[in-house]
Structure 1
Amino acid sequence: MNYTAPEAGQETGLKGGALMFNPPVEESCAGLSELIHHIRLQSFPRVLAEYLYSLCRYDDVTMLACSAGKKPNLVYPQGSENHSPCFNNYLLEEYLLDLSLHEEVTAGKKVFRYSELLNGAITETEYYQRYYRFLAFVDEVVIRIQVSEEIAFFIGLGRREELGEVYREEMSRLQQMFPLIEALCQQFWISQGEHYIPTTARHGLLDSAMGSFGHGILTPREQEIAAMLLQGYSSKMIAQELSISVATVKVHRKHINARLNTSTHFGLFNAFLNYLDDYLTRAA
């Protein structure tokens, strides 16, 4: 994790046991100037992390680039020394349960707290048990930026117990600066995006498992749609890809849930991960 701690003079008092601060206007402008200076450099994510810290303190920052049908690609922080085995497992398979990566679930939100997606019931999910609880976050802000037609850029700002929950003032600062941050990230992606997204298709055991999931239970069309849902496609995207109506996709989804004994989008991911565990065991 790389960030710039607040300078003296930024503190405005105690609130809820944590120190609140507001970056001076001069520092905020300097931070933006630095971002613009790095906009076409691979150092941009690091400088962006530092600037975001001036808007909203965090204990952990992660930046991912995601496209439908692909595993997320890590943009920041780079270097294996910054990755725990737990996070490596997230990039391998746990991301499938991460609701923040699915546009259908986030409903167009751009800056939001992770708990908003689950109505505060995150501890009851499979994702929490398998991955999220090990992060020890008490709060997390997610920023979603569409940097190209196919690629979405996700920034996670995680807070642990000492910093406590994110304050309204911090969320307000992030939301106010979002249009500018979005524009800068889009320009960065134009010049540097190719360094983070492989140009060749991904193949391997995960792809094979996704292709065979539901065999003997689902129809070939239902298998196809289930695989697309697992890869992050929305009903609208599936309809466009398969040249069918959204209503038809919804009918197929209803049949998929009935045949797999699931009732939600989240339940489908749980069913696939259980299948994937068995699939990988057999392939070992």
Structure 2
Amino acid sequence: MADIVDPKSDSFHSWNRAISAIMANLHDESLPAHLLEALRTIVPIDIIIIEILCRNNKTVIHYDNVEQERHKIIIEDYLNGPYLLNPFYQAFMDNVQPGGYLLEELAPDDFLNSEYFKQYYHASDGGSEFGYLFSVTPEIGVCIGISRSTWNPDFSAEEVNKLRAMEPVVRTSFLSYWEAIKGLDTSDQTSTSDLHQQIASAVENFGTSVLTARECQIAQLILRGHSSKSTAEKLDITAATVNTHRHKIYEKLDVTSQAELFSVFIDALSCSGESNFSDPLEAYHKLK
């Protein structure tokens, strides 16, 4: 009589085999792929993207399994500037405690309704996302983002708990791998640092040529996915005052919605390297 395979036991053996592969490849460039396979023995995953987050340099995609037809939206367009709005990037810059987080645990309160979320998650069929966030040096962090496509169910509470329980394995194995590969290729660090500073400056100065300082603050928070209530709390003003400012922002920028505001923002960023204007919006209007 054939033995009946216990599914839990089978999963345990799969996990052991995956961990064995990780241990055997800690110093090999195949380590990220082995990490993905280990995670998949516990929780179904569609996409993994490993980002190297830098305080004074441009974000780098170290590894991903994104299909080529979706690569432009998820990777290329994202690296042109929107990476600065990513909640995981913001969390790293704000020195959030290292660990495993669902996207919505780090994101502003209205992020899931923001144009950023719609364009860089929904538009690319991105669904539920969980990320491991930790530092490799004081200036460099890592976000190992795993997600499911929109047609698959969100991570359940049980799955999230399993992913969090796996955090020490993910973090320590990647840190060992990082030490072995000596981090990023530094051959073009200066040029990417200059590009990062250019992009960061363009984001920070967006709208300064036509908006007041307070309106610029509010526009930035809107773009990041904050609601009127959250914006009011951050700036210690009333929600009604925020809405008044929002109306003036839309009027001055000749837009009628958050979607149009975000579109102008992205178009302006794309023009930021083509002029000496501090506000990319000036370059955008000049080139229109």
Same fold (TM over 0.5): yes
Q: Counterparts of 2:271 and 2:224 in 1: how far apart (Å)?
A: 16
Secondary structure of the residue aligned to 2:123 is: helix
In the other structure, the counterpart of 1:26 is: 13
**1:77–1:10 Cα change, 3 Å:** farther
In the alignment, structure 1 residue 260 sits paired with structure 2 residue 216: yes
Q: Secondary structure at the match of 2:205?
A: coil
Classify 1:111/1:9 alpha carbon distance in 2 versus 1 (closer, same or farther; 3 Å). farther
User: Which residue among 260, 271, 276 is the counterpart of 2:269?
Assistant: 276
Provide, for residues 205-256 of structure 1, a one-character-per-residue CA deviation record: whole Å limited to 9, x for no partner: 66445446539959xxxxxxxxxxxxxxxxxxxxxxxxxxxxxxxxxxxxx9
1:95-114 matched pairs, under 5 angstroms: 95-103=83-91, 107-108=96-97, 110-114=99-103
Amino acid of the residue matched to residue 93 of structure 1?
G
Q: CA deviation at 1:204?
A: 5.9
Equivalent-residue separation in structure 1 for 2:170 and 2:42 (angstroms): 12
CA distance in 1, matches of 2:94, 2:206: 26
1-structure distance, mates of 2:178, 2:197: 27
Deviation at 1:138, TM superposition (A): 3.0
Q: Quick one: distance in 1 between partners of 2:140 and 2:222?
A: 22
- What amino acid does structure 2 have at the position aligned with 1:276? L
Q: Structure 2, unaligned stretches of length 5 or more?
A: 226-261, 275-283
Structure index of larger Rg? 2
| Structure 1 contact 139–159 (Cα < 8 Å) conserved | yes
Out of 129, 152, 155, the position equivalent to 1:163 is 152
Q: Which AA in structure 2 matches 1:43? A: S
What is residue 123 of structure 1 aligned with on the other side? 112
**Is the contact between residue 43 and residue 159 of structure 2 (CA under 8 Å) also seen in structure 1?**
yes
Change (3 A) 1:81 1:277: closer
User: Percent identical across equivalent pairs?
Assistant: 16
- How far apart in 1 are the matches of 2:151 and 2:206? 48
- After superposition, the CA RMSD in angstroms is 3.7
Q: Give the structure 2 partner of residue 214 of structure 1.
A: 205
Work out which of the residue numbers 112, 134, 150 in structure 1 matches 2:123.
134
Where structure 1 has 5 or more consecutive residues not aligned to the other structure, the ranges are: 1-7, 13-21, 219-255
SS of the residue aligned with 1:188?
Answer: helix
Which of 44, 48, 57 is matched with 2:31 structurally?
44
Amino acid of the structure 1 residue aligned with 2:135: Q
Aligned to 1:145: 134
TM-score normalised by the chain length of structure 1: 0.66
The CA deviation at 1:189 is 0.5
Bigger proportion of residues as helix: 2
Cα displacement string for residues 123-177 of structure 1 (whole angstroms, at most 9, x for unaligned residues): 3213123322212233111111222332211111111244301122221222112
Q: Does 1:60 align with 2:16?
A: no
Deviations 1:180-204 (A, max 9, x none): 2211111110011435565622266
SS at match of 1:182: helix
Distance 1:192 1:123, change over 3 A: same
**Equivalent residues of 1:73, 1:196 under 8 A apart:** no
How many Å separate the matches in 2 of 1:128 and 1:65? 20
Say how many residue pairs are matched.
231
Residues 1:190 and 2:179 are matched in the alignment: yes
Preserved contact between residue 144 and residue 155 of structure 1 (Cα < 8 Å): yes
Cα deviation for residue 43 of structure 1 reads 0.8
SS in 2 for 1:175: helix
Q: 1:274 to 1:165 in 2, by over 3 A?
A: same
Structure 2: how far apart are the matches of 1:159 and 1:144? 18
Correspondence for 2:230: none
Q: For residues 142 and 17 of structure 2, what CA distance do their matches in structure 1 show? A: 24
